[in-house]
Homo-oligomer: A and B are copies of this chain.
Amino acid sequence: MPRRAATAEKPMTRKRRDEVFDAAARVFAERGYHGASTQDIADLLGMRQASLYYYFHSKEAALEEVCARGTAGFIERAEAILKSDEDQGTKLHLLLAAQVMPMAEGADYVQTFLNERKWLPTESRRRIGRMSRRIEAIFERVIRDGIRAGEFRQEINPRLATLGLLGMMNSVAAWHDRESAGLEKIAEALSNLVIGGIRQPEGSNYGS
């Protein structure tokens, strides 16, 4: 009886499997997909390089799995916020926070998804890309609704605002660990920054 393919139902315990992908995520996040070797992953596990192929059938497949785990929950949480009956300002605030908070738990997975997904082979990149576009669509929806409701300013370009906001929030993954502030505080500060704006509104200048 032949050994089961790595892609089929997994006889290996979830625990060990998770350790392997944790290591892969770690190494991909730290060195980048192309800069990471399967040897690096094996070293982290105290395992031989070739043994990894029991858990995935190619380095690319490992990247795909890590990226997929990196997006887990994002869409669901965003959809839930979209469907909630908060006002659009609150929804946007929640969306912004939801984009940042998962960087606490699965930091390596999220960072790999953000930075390395572009190296996936065309097919899986498309599949993963669909998730990004879904997130973008939800942001854009909330912004448009907010403008329509008179809650957000008319001049805002929903598409560019979406991409800018996501760019800002996703950049957090690259620097939050070097700052003293925790993710919660960062999410709060940035959300407040963009929703309220930097400029002091006219007439409410109680300084000087």
Contacts and interface: CB of A to CB of B under 8 A. Distances in A.
A197 B200 contact: no
A35 B33 CA distance: 8
Nearest to A174: B167
Task: State the copy count for this chain.
Answer: 2
Given A34-B32, A34-B35, A207 B153 contact: no
Interface in A140-193: 143, 146, 149-157, 159-161, 163-172, 174-175, 179, 181, 185-186, 189-190, 192-193
A167 B160 contact: no
A160 B174 contact: no
A144 to B, nearest CB: 12
B199 A152 contact: yes
Contacts of A104: none
A89 interface: yes
A169 B194 CA distance: 13
Contacts of A146: 198
A122 interface: no
A12 B105 CA distance: 52
B143 A160 contact: no
Contact of A197 (B170, B172, B198, B208): B198
Given A153-B196, A164-B193, 6 more contacts: A34-B34, A92-B198, A156-B189, A156-B193, A161-B193, A163-B175
